[in-house]
Amino acid sequence: MVRAFNLLHFLSFFSLGVSGCLAVSFIVALFLGDEGVRPLALATVIAATVGLVLRIRQRSGTELTHREGILLVTVAWLVATFFGALPFYFSRHFSSFTDAFFESISGLTTTGATVLTNVEALPPSLLFWRCFTHWLGGMGIIVLGIAVLPLIGVGGMELYRAEFSGARSDKVRPRIAETAKALWKIYAVLTVTLYIALRLAGMGNLDAVCHSFSAMGTGGFSTRNASIEAFGSPVIELIIAFFMLLAGINFTLHYRLMVERRPSRFFRDVELRAYLFLIGGVTLIIAAELARWDLHSYPDALRFAFFQTVSIMTTGGFSSTDFESWPALAQFLLFAAMFAGGCTGSTAGGLKIARIVLLTRVVGREFRRLISPRAVFTVRLSADDRISERTVESLLNLVYLAFLVFFAASGLLTAVGVDFLTAITATAAAMFNIGPGLGQVGPTENFAHLPTFAKWVLCLCMLAGRLEFYTLLVLFVPAFWRK
């Protein structure tokens, strides 16, 4: 049984947390003196007021049940999205609440799809808030909550299970709150390092801050209409690509490398090696295609191919060139990379590389069973990491759910008049939190022209993808609400 008052009590802290983040952007608006002051002030006051009203006193140490944890994760994301949309809605740059909500959920889920036709028309403070949502959503609002909840006498394990349902979780410390804090520190250090690198490469202060937020959150929101291409700097492209590459790696591996000084554990990781292998392989094939078609010299082809492959596979969503003009094979490889995504425990979306590796080994096991039907075979992610049958079953169910959502959402988009290529790539880009697709939502396009219904379908896809499908879709099962 879900206890409504218990959930409202916990949601009050998330509302107050979002109001604090909005307040940071409000201070930026005051400092810059731009037109974002009023929208950010109103949003901050509303979020803070709701948080204070929802706050209900309960005895310390109250634990969430499993069902409450699952429900709280979804509702917390929706609450954060609603408050995050208010500055956009109160500004003159968004014509409807649908557009404001779309932009907000795209930011917090680190998707990077936008309804803005002219990003550069936004005041700097709203550009800051827009990219800041990527940074907050990158590591996960719920993971941040896990670090905070124990301080107010609440355990966070159920939140952790709900946030990472179906994914391999590798805790680096015994207590999850300590783990979350350690990972946030690493996340912050990498963000500051990226900011310094971009400043040294010649990027302006606001541009460097915003792109640091977006790149480390693997989001894709930019301060420029032409994204990274607008800067015309190979150095900036390589810096951002390198840090997106880092953001797509499991952060527990960063912990082992940076804090525990255990590089051997870092480079022995099966998922990491597969991740780097796929990025390297796709980059070389695309570069060869671009050179073969005489679209670029080989050095430029390699540069563009590397940036775009990293951006798509890590679900970063930035663009350094119009890859819609690339040969069909190059576009196909980028489309396939949308499904793969980054590593588990990273800020990237997608199915995750560990799942791709595991699926490959499950298929390999079935072939071995056909050859030797009496033999017993186990599935291993690595030599000392045996995968249980329950995990394999959960993985297959997750993949089934992902493709079910993909086909259902694509069908709904085509039903309201969206062309086929746009429908399937927009759905994939939303589900796996990538941002740009192909067709009418390509790297030089936006989502503004889509029907209102299509935008809400894509909002649901973004949330479903970010919450690993199970967490959201289980709420539609009647048994979830029974005692």
Chain length of the chain? 483
**Residue 358: strand, helix, or coil:** helix
- For 182, list phi and psi in degrees, rounded to 5: -60, -45
What's the pLDDT at 154?
45
- Measured CA to CA, the distance from residue 235 to residue 274 in angstroms comes to 26
- Measured CA to CA, the distance from residue 193 to residue 187 in angstroms comes to 10
Burial of 64 (0-12, 13-18, 19+ CB in 10 A): buried
What's the pLDDT at 372?
86
- Report yes or no: 77 and 108 within 8 Å, Cβ to Cβ: yes
Tokens 């259902």 belong to residue: 408
pLDDT class of 305 with cuts at 50, 70, 90: very high
- Measured CA to CA, the distance from residue 87 to residue 235 in angstroms comes to 34
- Measured CA to CA, the distance from residue 112 to residue 337 in angstroms comes to 16
**Residue 349: strand, helix, or coil:** coil
Q: Degrees (nearest 5) of the Cα angle 301, 302, 308?
A: 90
pLDDT per position as a tens digit, 101-115? 999 999 999 998 999
Tell which wins on pLDDT, 318 or 55.
318
- Measured CA to CA, the distance from residue 418 to residue 351 in angstroms comes to 25
- Percent residues over pLDDT 90 in the chain: 48
Residue 163 has pLDDT above 80, yes or no: no
Burial of 468 (0-12, 13-18, 19+ CB in 10 A): buried
- Measured CA to CA, the distance from residue 91 to residue 36 in angstroms comes to 7
What's the pLDDT at 146?
53
Amino acid symbol at 379:
V
What's the pLDDT at 169?
47
Residue 175 has pLDDT above 70, yes or no: no
Task: Identify which of 139, 163, 170 has the alpha carbon closest to the alpha carbon of residue 64.
Answer: 163
Lowest mean pLDDT among 4-8, 293-297, 446-450, 470-474: 4-8
pLDDT per position as a tens digit, 7-44? 777 788 889 999 999 999 999 999 999 999 999 999 99
Lowest mean pLDDT among 237-246, 265-274, 282-291: 265-274
Q: What is the radius of gyration, based on Cα positions, of the chain?
A: 22
Residue 341 has pLDDT above 80, yes or no: yes
pLDDT class of 383 with cuts at 50, 70, 90: low
In 10 A of CB 42, how many CB atoms?
A: 16
What's the pLDDT at 139?
78
- Report yes or no: 137 and 105 within 8 Å, Cβ to Cβ: no
pLDDT per position as a tens digit, 417-462? 999 999 999 999 999 888 888 888 888 889 999 999 999 999 999 9
Determine the average pLDDT of the residues in 237-256: 91
What's the pLDDT at 97?
95
pLDDT per position as a tens digit, 215-244? 999 988 999 998 999 999 999 999 999 999
What's the pLDDT at 377?
79
Tokens 């067709």 belong to residue: 439
- Measured CA to CA, the distance from residue 350 to residue 434 in angstroms comes to 8
pLDDT per position as a tens digit, 44-57? 999 999 998 887 65
Which residues on adjacent β-strands are paired with residue 379?
Answer: 387
Burial of 392 (0-12, 13-18, 19+ CB in 10 A): middle
Tokens 């107010």 belong to residue: 152
Average model confidence (pLDDT) across the chain? 85
Q: Quote the pTM value.
A: 0.89
Determine the average pLDDT of the residues in 398-407: 90
What's the pLDDT at 152?
42
Residue 158, H or E segment: helix 157-163
- For 382, list phi and psi in degrees, rounded to 5: -145, 180
- Measured CA to CA, the distance from residue 324 to residue 335 in angstroms comes to 11
- For 432, list phi and psi in degrees, rounded to 5: -105, 15
Residue 166 has pLDDT above 50, yes or no: no
Residue 66 has pLDDT above 80, yes or no: no
- Measured CA to CA, the distance from residue 61 to residue 84 in angstroms comes to 30
Amino acid symbol at 9:
H
Residue 76 has pLDDT above 90, yes or no: no
Tokens 């169910």 belong to residue: 397
- Report yes or no: 150 and 116 within 8 Å, Cβ to Cβ: no
pLDDT per position as a tens digit, 179-212? 777 888 889 999 999 999 999 999 999 999 999 9
- Report yes or no: 243 and 194 within 8 Å, Cβ to Cβ: yes
Residue 143 has pLDDT above 70, yes or no: no
Retrieve residue 392's tokens: 């394999």
DSSP secondary structure string for all residues of 418-438? --HHHHHHHHHHHHTT----S
